[in-house]
Structure 1
Amino acid sequence: MKRRDFLTLTAAAAFAPLTLRAAIADYAPGLVTKALENGETVFLDFKASWCSTCAAQERVINALLEENPAYDQSITFINVDWDEHGKSELAKSLRIPRRSTLVVLKGNQELGRIVAGTSVSDIKALMDTALSAATA
Protein backbone atom coordinates (compact mmCIF):
# COMPACT_ATOMS: atom_id res chain seq x y z
CA MET A 1 0.00 0.00 0.00
CA LYS A 2 1.27 3.43 -0.86
CA ARG A 3 1.93 5.81 2.00
CA ARG A 4 -0.52 8.40 0.61
CA ASP A 5 -3.30 5.79 0.38
CA PHE A 6 -2.58 4.65 3.92
CA LEU A 7 -2.76 8.20 5.27
CA THR A 8 -5.99 8.89 3.40
CA LEU A 9 -7.66 5.73 4.69
CA THR A 10 -6.41 6.31 8.22
CA ALA A 11 -7.72 9.89 8.23
CA ALA A 12 -11.09 8.78 6.86
CA ALA A 13 -11.39 6.09 9.54
CA ALA A 14 -10.41 8.51 12.28
CA PHE A 15 -13.11 11.02 11.33
CA ALA A 16 -15.87 8.56 10.43
CA PRO A 17 -17.35 8.43 13.97
CA LEU A 18 -17.72 12.21 13.91
CA THR A 19 -20.02 12.06 10.91
CA LEU A 20 -22.31 9.27 12.10
CA ARG A 21 -24.45 11.48 14.28
CA ALA A 22 -26.96 13.67 12.50
CA ALA A 23 -27.16 17.29 13.51
CA ILE A 24 -29.94 18.44 15.78
CA ALA A 25 -31.65 21.21 13.85
CA ASP A 26 -32.37 24.63 15.28
CA TYR A 27 -35.97 25.74 14.85
CA ALA A 28 -36.96 28.14 12.11
CA PRO A 29 -40.55 28.94 11.13
CA GLY A 30 -41.93 26.27 8.82
CA LEU A 31 -39.34 23.63 9.74
CA VAL A 32 -41.68 21.54 11.90
CA THR A 33 -44.53 21.69 9.40
CA LYS A 34 -42.22 20.62 6.58
CA ALA A 35 -40.83 17.69 8.59
CA LEU A 36 -44.30 16.51 9.58
CA GLU A 37 -45.54 16.80 5.99
CA ASN A 38 -42.60 14.60 4.96
CA GLY A 39 -43.83 11.92 7.37
CA GLU A 40 -41.06 12.44 9.90
CA THR A 41 -41.41 11.93 13.63
CA VAL A 42 -40.35 15.16 15.32
CA PHE A 43 -38.85 15.54 18.80
CA LEU A 44 -39.06 19.19 19.90
CA ASP A 45 -36.90 20.51 22.73
CA PHE A 46 -38.06 23.92 23.95
CA LYS A 47 -35.03 25.24 25.81
CA ALA A 48 -33.11 28.29 26.94
CA SER A 49 -29.35 28.54 27.23
CA TRP A 50 -29.59 29.81 30.81
CA CYS A 51 -32.02 27.10 32.01
CA SER A 52 -30.48 24.48 34.31
CA THR A 53 -33.41 22.08 33.81
CA CYS A 54 -32.94 22.37 30.03
CA ALA A 55 -29.24 21.60 30.44
CA ALA A 56 -30.07 18.50 32.50
CA GLN A 57 -32.54 17.34 29.84
CA GLU A 58 -29.95 17.92 27.14
CA ARG A 59 -27.38 15.77 28.96
CA VAL A 60 -29.89 12.92 29.21
CA ILE A 61 -30.93 13.25 25.55
CA ASN A 62 -27.31 13.28 24.38
CA ALA A 63 -26.46 10.22 26.49
CA LEU A 64 -29.45 8.33 25.08
CA LEU A 65 -28.50 9.33 21.53
CA GLU A 66 -25.02 7.94 22.15
CA GLU A 67 -26.44 4.68 23.56
CA ASN A 68 -28.89 4.05 20.73
CA PRO A 69 -28.03 5.32 17.23
CA ALA A 70 -31.53 4.33 16.03
CA TYR A 71 -32.93 7.44 17.74
CA ASP A 72 -30.73 9.72 15.67
CA GLN A 73 -31.33 7.78 12.48
CA SER A 74 -35.13 7.69 12.75
CA ILE A 75 -36.23 10.81 14.63
CA THR A 76 -35.94 14.46 13.62
CA PHE A 77 -34.67 16.41 16.64
CA ILE A 78 -35.32 20.15 16.69
CA ASN A 79 -34.16 22.59 19.36
CA VAL A 80 -36.50 25.54 19.88
CA ASP A 81 -34.86 28.53 21.56
CA TRP A 82 -37.37 29.64 24.18
CA ASP A 83 -36.10 33.21 24.35
CA GLU A 84 -36.54 33.61 20.59
CA HIS A 85 -39.57 31.39 19.87
CA GLY A 86 -41.39 31.02 23.20
CA LYS A 87 -44.24 33.21 21.97
CA SER A 88 -44.22 31.86 18.40
CA GLU A 89 -47.20 30.34 16.60
CA LEU A 90 -45.61 26.92 17.13
CA ALA A 91 -45.43 27.38 20.91
CA LYS A 92 -48.98 28.80 21.02
CA SER A 93 -50.46 26.06 18.84
CA LEU A 94 -48.88 23.34 20.99
CA ARG A 95 -49.73 25.18 24.23
CA ILE A 96 -46.13 25.02 25.44
CA PRO A 97 -46.26 26.27 29.04
CA ARG A 98 -42.56 26.96 29.56
CA ARG A 99 -39.02 26.22 28.55
CA SER A 100 -37.76 22.71 29.37
CA THR A 101 -40.69 21.17 27.51
CA LEU A 102 -40.09 18.14 25.29
CA VAL A 103 -42.76 17.18 22.73
CA VAL A 104 -43.01 14.35 20.19
CA LEU A 105 -45.15 14.85 17.08
CA LYS A 106 -46.08 12.60 14.17
CA GLY A 107 -48.48 13.72 11.46
CA ASN A 108 -51.10 15.85 13.17
CA GLN A 109 -50.81 14.11 16.53
CA GLU A 110 -48.88 14.81 19.69
CA LEU A 111 -47.54 11.47 20.92
CA GLY A 112 -46.18 12.66 24.24
CA ARG A 113 -44.61 15.45 26.23
CA ILE A 114 -42.54 16.11 29.31
CA VAL A 115 -42.60 19.45 31.12
CA ALA A 116 -39.56 20.20 33.29
CA GLY A 117 -38.77 16.52 33.78
CA THR A 118 -35.19 15.28 33.83
CA SER A 119 -35.67 11.61 34.68
CA VAL A 120 -33.65 9.33 32.42
CA SER A 121 -36.47 6.78 32.38
CA ASP A 122 -39.11 9.38 31.44
CA ILE A 123 -37.03 10.91 28.65
CA LYS A 124 -36.07 7.46 27.38
CA ALA A 125 -39.75 6.47 27.33
CA LEU A 126 -40.58 9.59 25.29
CA MET A 127 -37.72 8.88 22.88
CA ASP A 128 -38.87 5.23 22.62
CA THR A 129 -42.39 6.46 21.78
CA ALA A 130 -40.88 8.61 19.03
CA LEU A 131 -38.76 5.72 17.74
CA SER A 132 -41.75 3.37 17.64
CA ALA A 133 -43.76 5.92 15.66
CA ALA A 134 -40.86 6.59 13.31
CA THR A 135 -40.26 2.93 12.52
CA ALA A 136 -43.91 1.81 12.36
Structure 2
Amino acid sequence: MDRRTFFATAVAALTLPAFAQATTNYTPGLVKKHLAAGDTVFLVFGTEWCSTCAAQDRAINALLQSNPEYDAKVKFIHVDYDQYGQSELARELKIPRRSTLVVLKGDEELGRIVAGTSKEQIKALMDTALSASVA
Protein backbone atom coordinates (compact mmCIF):
# COMPACT_ATOMS: atom_id res chain seq x y z
CA MET A 1 0.00 0.00 0.00
CA ASP A 2 1.48 3.35 -0.94
CA ARG A 3 1.53 6.33 1.39
CA ARG A 4 -1.25 8.19 -0.42
CA THR A 5 -3.63 5.22 -0.19
CA PHE A 6 -2.73 4.71 3.47
CA PHE A 7 -3.47 8.33 4.37
CA ALA A 8 -6.69 8.39 2.37
CA THR A 9 -7.85 5.23 4.12
CA ALA A 10 -6.85 6.57 7.54
CA VAL A 11 -8.67 9.86 7.00
CA ALA A 12 -11.79 8.05 5.78
CA ALA A 13 -11.77 5.77 8.82
CA LEU A 14 -11.34 8.67 11.22
CA THR A 15 -14.18 10.61 9.71
CA LEU A 16 -16.71 7.80 10.02
CA PRO A 17 -19.41 9.13 12.30
CA ALA A 18 -19.68 7.82 15.83
CA PHE A 19 -23.37 7.50 15.00
CA ALA A 20 -22.55 4.36 13.05
CA GLN A 21 -21.16 2.87 16.25
CA ALA A 22 -24.06 4.03 18.42
CA THR A 23 -26.67 2.37 16.25
CA THR A 24 -27.63 -1.21 15.68
CA ASN A 25 -28.50 -2.37 12.19
CA TYR A 26 -32.07 -3.60 11.89
CA THR A 27 -32.90 -7.24 11.55
CA PRO A 28 -36.47 -8.59 11.52
CA GLY A 29 -37.81 -8.92 15.06
CA LEU A 30 -35.23 -6.59 16.64
CA VAL A 31 -37.61 -3.67 17.20
CA LYS A 32 -40.30 -5.88 18.75
CA LYS A 33 -37.68 -7.44 21.03
CA HIS A 34 -36.56 -4.04 22.34
CA LEU A 35 -40.11 -2.74 22.72
CA ALA A 36 -41.13 -5.89 24.63
CA ALA A 37 -38.17 -5.28 26.95
CA GLY A 38 -39.50 -1.78 27.70
CA ASP A 39 -36.85 0.08 25.72
CA THR A 40 -37.40 3.36 23.93
CA VAL A 41 -36.47 2.87 20.27
CA PHE A 42 -35.28 5.54 17.84
CA LEU A 43 -35.59 4.25 14.27
CA VAL A 44 -33.57 5.78 11.45
CA PHE A 45 -34.92 4.74 8.04
CA GLY A 46 -32.21 5.65 5.57
CA THR A 47 -29.82 4.64 2.83
CA GLU A 48 -26.11 5.11 2.25
CA TRP A 49 -26.66 7.15 -0.93
CA CYS A 50 -29.32 9.57 0.39
CA SER A 51 -28.05 13.12 1.03
CA THR A 52 -30.99 13.93 3.33
CA CYS A 53 -30.20 10.79 5.33
CA ALA A 54 -26.55 11.87 5.56
CA ALA A 55 -27.61 15.29 6.89
CA GLN A 56 -29.82 13.58 9.49
CA ASP A 57 -26.95 11.27 10.45
CA ARG A 58 -24.63 14.27 10.96
CA ALA A 59 -27.19 15.98 13.21
CA ILE A 60 -27.84 12.79 15.20
CA ASN A 61 -24.10 12.17 15.53
CA ALA A 62 -23.48 15.69 16.85
CA LEU A 63 -26.31 15.32 19.36
CA LEU A 64 -25.08 11.89 20.50
CA GLN A 65 -21.64 13.36 21.09
CA SER A 66 -23.05 16.34 23.00
CA ASN A 67 -25.18 14.21 25.35
CA PRO A 68 -24.11 10.62 26.12
CA GLU A 69 -27.47 10.04 27.85
CA TYR A 70 -29.11 9.59 24.45
CA ASP A 71 -26.97 6.58 23.63
CA ALA A 72 -27.12 5.23 27.18
CA LYS A 73 -30.92 5.30 27.48
CA VAL A 74 -32.32 5.04 23.94
CA LYS A 75 -31.88 2.19 21.45
CA PHE A 76 -30.91 3.63 18.06
CA ILE A 77 -31.67 1.27 15.19
CA HIS A 78 -30.76 1.97 11.57
CA VAL A 79 -33.19 0.46 9.07
CA ASP A 80 -31.72 0.22 5.57
CA TYR A 81 -34.60 1.52 3.48
CA ASP A 82 -33.29 -0.12 0.32
CA GLN A 83 -33.49 -3.50 2.03
CA TYR A 84 -36.42 -3.05 4.45
CA GLY A 85 -38.47 -0.21 2.95
CA GLN A 86 -41.23 -2.66 2.01
CA SER A 87 -40.91 -4.79 5.15
CA GLU A 88 -43.64 -5.58 7.64
CA LEU A 89 -42.13 -3.00 10.03
CA ALA A 90 -42.21 -0.25 7.39
CA ARG A 91 -45.79 -1.14 6.44
CA GLU A 92 -46.98 -1.25 10.08
CA LEU A 93 -45.44 2.16 10.77
CA LYS A 94 -46.56 3.58 7.41
CA ILE A 95 -43.04 4.75 6.57
CA PRO A 96 -43.48 6.92 3.46
CA ARG A 97 -39.85 7.18 2.37
CA ARG A 98 -36.21 6.99 3.36
CA SER A 99 -35.01 9.76 5.70
CA THR A 100 -37.78 9.02 8.18
CA LEU A 101 -37.03 9.08 11.92
CA VAL A 102 -39.47 7.46 14.36
CA VAL A 103 -39.52 7.13 18.16
CA LEU A 104 -41.40 4.20 19.70
CA LYS A 105 -42.10 3.14 23.27
CA GLY A 106 -44.29 0.15 24.01
CA ASP A 107 -47.20 0.19 21.56
CA GLU A 108 -46.97 3.93 21.02
CA GLU A 109 -45.35 6.11 18.40
CA LEU A 110 -44.07 9.17 20.27
CA GLY A 111 -42.98 11.18 17.26
CA ARG A 112 -41.58 11.19 13.76
CA ILE A 113 -39.75 13.37 11.30
CA VAL A 114 -39.98 12.82 7.55
CA ALA A 115 -37.09 14.27 5.53
CA GLY A 116 -36.32 16.90 8.17
CA THR A 117 -32.68 17.83 8.70
CA SER A 118 -32.94 20.64 11.24
CA LYS A 119 -30.71 19.90 14.21
CA GLU A 120 -33.27 21.57 16.50
CA GLN A 121 -36.11 19.41 15.17
CA ILE A 122 -34.04 16.22 15.48
CA LYS A 123 -32.93 17.24 18.99
CA ALA A 124 -36.58 17.69 20.00
CA LEU A 125 -37.35 14.16 18.77
CA MET A 126 -34.30 12.75 20.57
CA ASP A 127 -35.35 14.61 23.74
CA THR A 128 -38.80 13.02 23.44
CA ALA A 129 -37.11 9.62 23.27
CA LEU A 130 -34.88 10.42 26.24
CA SER A 131 -37.82 11.62 28.36
CA ALA A 132 -39.77 8.46 27.55
CA SER A 133 -36.82 6.27 28.48
CA VAL A 134 -36.69 7.60 32.04
CA ALA A 135 -40.46 7.71 32.57
- Category of TM-score, reference length = shorter chain: 0.7 to 0.9
Q: Does 1:127 align with 2:126?
A: yes
Shift of 1:128: 0.1
CA–CA distance in 2 between the matches of 1:23 and 1:124? 16
Q: TM-score, normalised by structure 1?
A: 0.84
Shift of 1:120: 0.6
CA–CA distance in 2 between the matches of 1:120 and 1:82? 22
CA–CA distance in 1 between the matches of 2:22 and 2:128? 20
CA RMSD in angstroms, aligned pairs only: 1.2
Q: Which amino acid aligns with 1:86?
A: G
Paired residue for 2:40? 41
Paired residue for 1:118? 117
Paired residue for 1:105? 104
Q: Which amino acid aligns with 1:70?
A: E
Which segments of structure 1 move beyond 6 Å, counting only runs of 4 or more? none
In structure 1, runs of 5+ residues without a counterpart are 1-21
Q: Which amino acid aligns with 1:130?
A: A
Shift of 1:106: 0.0
Shift of 1:23: 3.4
Structure whose CA Rg is larger = 1
Per-residue CA deviations over 1:71-96 (Å, capped at 9, x if unaligned) read: 00000000000000000000000000
Q: Which amino acid aligns with 2:89?
A: L
Matches within 5 A, 1:8-23: 23=22
Paired residue for 1:6? none
Q: Does 1:63 align with 2:75?
A: no
Q: Specify the SS of the correspondent of 1:45.
A: strand
Paired residue for 2:93? 94
CA–CA distance in 1 between the matches of 2:97 and 2:104? 18
Q: TM-score, normalised by structure 2?
A: 0.84
Q: Specify the SS of the correspondent of 1:126.
A: helix
In structure 2, runs of 5+ residues without a counterpart are 1-20
Q: Against the structure 1 CA distance between its residues 74 and 46, is the aligned structure 2 distance closer, same or farther, given a 3 Å change threshold?
A: same
